Chain A
Amino acid sequence: MAAVENSTKVVLGGTRGGPEVPTLRQDRWRIQPMVTAGILTSFIIYSTWAAFQNRYYYVGASFGRDLISPFYSPCIGGVCVPGAKAGFALNWFRLSPALLILIFPLGFRFTCYYYRRSYYRAFWFSPPACAVADAHGKYSGETRFPLVMQNLHRYFFYAGLVFNTLLTIDAVEAFREPGIGWGVSVGTVVLCVNAVLLWMYSLSCHACRHLLGGHVKSFKAHPIRYRFWKFLTPLNAKHMNLAWASLLFVGFADIYVRLVASGAITDYKIF
């Protein structure tokens, strides 16, 4: 390219100043990657265990409730518990339905710009913290397979919107109390908060902000997209907080439904 050919070459090498040590930072920079690694590892272990359980994910008519775990919704496998089945089923799939479903939300989170920052630091040490040496001798970033696949983030975002819609329907259905009528229980609140947090996490996504308005060159020429962009920009600034809140709460929602379904706790009615 002309601009590149006309410029002089970048001179590599040259002696750098300072001592040859991984870092001179004196603060407790290890804490953040350790906490991140701890929470993400715990979530991965729990969600894997929960996905293979294939039971206690639905609180149905026998409890006078209609609560389904977000890990198992929509229940489209061939072995769903009675009452949990979605409108259609993949009858040939005999394993836990969570194994089918979790691919999409986990893919969305795995390719999320915020989580990338977190796990590159916490697990890959590339770098573990700012101004701390990268743990790898060679570095190609996200230019090659498999990390070039991070560019598929927007497709997982689209899939995430479908799941958010389904979990919102679940939250609305959680107001149903089979055999009783309608009401609000703690489980209803849990599923509603879960749906709200997931929507906020998705809407604060960088891909969402780009697709709904950020991609245009002129805001003046696209006033509606400009409004979307203006609305999403402050939400985007909270993406990290929403990423953690929605992750922890979706795990909590599964635990809550699991405990109620197994009879360990009672889902108290609020009104």
Chain B
Amino acid sequence: MADVTMRIWRGDATGGDFENYTIALNEGEVVLDIIHRIQATDAPDLACRWNCKAGKCGSCSAEINGKPRLMCMTRMDQLPEGPVTVTPMKAFPIIRDLVTDVSFNFEMAKRVPALLPPPMPEGGYRMFQQDVERGQEFRKCIECFLCQDVCHVIRDHEENKKNYAGPRFFIRYAELEMHPLDTNDRRELLKEEMGLGYCNITKCCTEVCPEHIHITDNAIIPLKERVVDADYDPVAWLGRKIRRRTKKTAAEASVQPAP
């Protein structure tokens, strides 16, 4: 059994600093185990948010050695030798120690226009397997908000939070836009209000996703291509006019009640 030094950020909105804790390390332990042991022995007032300890609730997000990760899924034996640094997520305001205020994400969630299916046909709605599978990947999201945290658009530019949904909600938009029963058109909203154009495809959201969702390739880029269809592609525009394919605008659709 070896000892490990943990450098943990302690503080709140008034300020803070690192505190070092040297503690015994057992085989197979994850960072959250160590945090709990520190709470039990050295620092009972150390604040951290956690729940399932199985990588499924998305509560214990933090930055370990500078990388956004789930504390419960980061094995201590896979970290390099030396002190382990644990800090709260940088993109969100601190509440205390490792706990941040992630309410920005809930505000962005409210802005997502709901699924808008057509009137119920006789026999009910039907969805086929290949269409179900397409959105399945996005439903793996555990809302840990690590993708939001690592996204430099808001991590390094607080002012962009006003008009930027962020990767977590781009996968929600993508899931809805790819839903075969959805008649809503969120492309204008994505372009004008949700800041899709701010994303410069650096793929950090995909790199940190603990559920290995291909956020950039399967959600953000397809959404960008849909916006190109709507606004930057005269050939596609002409095609829609000729085939008289009309969609509701985001403004019209967003006033519809959720089903």
Q: Which of A25, A117, A130, A226 contacts B201 (CB 8 A)?
A: A117
Q: Which residues on B sit within 8 Å (CB–CB) of A120?
A: 200-202
Q: When the two chains form their complex, are residues A127 and B110 in contact, meaning their CB atoms are under 8 A apart? A: no
In contact, A130 and B67 (Cβ under 8 angstroms): yes
Contact across chains for B162 and A217 when beta carbons are under 8 A apart:
no
Contact of A17 with B111 in the complex, beta carbons under 8 Å: no
* Nearest B-chain residue to A127, judged by Cβ: B152
Please tell me if the beta carbons of B161 and A143 are within 8 angstroms of each other in the complex.
no
Query: Do B85 and A139 touch (CB < 8 A)?
Result: no
Query: Is chain B's binding surface mostly helix, strand, loop or mixed?
Result: mixed
The residue in chain B whose Cβ has the minimal distance to the Cβ of A210 is: B225
Instruction: Return the CB mask of A18-62 against B: 1 if under 8 Å, else 0.
Output: 110001111100000000000000000000000000000000000
The proximity string for B residues 75-92 relative to A, scoring 1 for CB distances below 8 Å and 0 otherwise, is 000001010010111111
Given A1-B251, A7-B110, A219-B131: A127 and B204 interface contact (C-beta under 8 Å): yes
B-side contacts of A141, CB under 8 Å: 153, 195, 197-200
Q: Is B217 an interface residue (CB 8 A)?
A: yes
- A237 lies within 8 A of chain B by Cβ: yes
Q: Could you tell me if B180 and A221 are in contact, using CB atoms closer than 8 angstroms? A: yes
Interface residues of A, CB < 8 Å — how many? 60
Q: State whether the Cβ of B189 lies closer than 8 Å to any Cβ in chain A.
A: yes
A19 touches B18 (CB 8 A): yes
Are A148 and B101 in contact, CB atoms less than 8 angstroms apart?
A: no
Residues of A within 8 A of B68 (CB): 130-131
Q: Which residues of A contact B159 (CB under 8 A)?
A: 12
Does A121 count as interface, using CB distance less than 8 angstroms?
yes
Task: Tell me the B227-259 residues at the A interface (CB within 8 Å).
Answer: 227-229, 231-233, 250-251, 254-255
Binds A, one of B9-17, B20-28, B34-42: B9-17
Residues from chain B with a CB closer than 8 A to the CB of A15 are 12-15, 93-94
Question: Provided the pairs A17-B16, A24-B63 are in contact, do residues A217 and B179 lie with their beta carbons within 8 angstroms?
Answer: yes
B-contact 0/1 string along A208-221, CB 8 Å cutoff = 00110011011111
22 chain-A/chain-B pairs, Cβ below 8 angstroms: A1-B250, A1-B254, A8-B110, A9-B107, A12-B159, A12-B162, A13-B158, A17-B16, A18-B87, A19-B87, A24-B63, A24-B85, A26-B65, A113-B201, A130-B204, A131-B66, A131-B204, A143-B195, A154-B233, A206-B225, A210-B225, A236-B217
